[in-house]
Amino acid sequence: MKFEILTPLGFTVRTSESYWQRLIVKHPDIADLEELVQQALADPDEVRSSSRDDGVLLFYLARSEKRWVVAVARRLNGDGFLITAYQTDAIKEGESVWHR
pLDDT tens for 43-84 read 999 999 999 998 899 999 999 888 999 999 999 888 899 999
pTM (2 decimals)?
Answer: 0.95
Q: How far is CA 24 from CA 28, 37, 83, 86, in A?
A: 5, 12, 12, 9
> Where is 35: in which H helix or E strand?
helix 34-42
How far, in Å, CA of 62 to CA of 77, rounded?
29
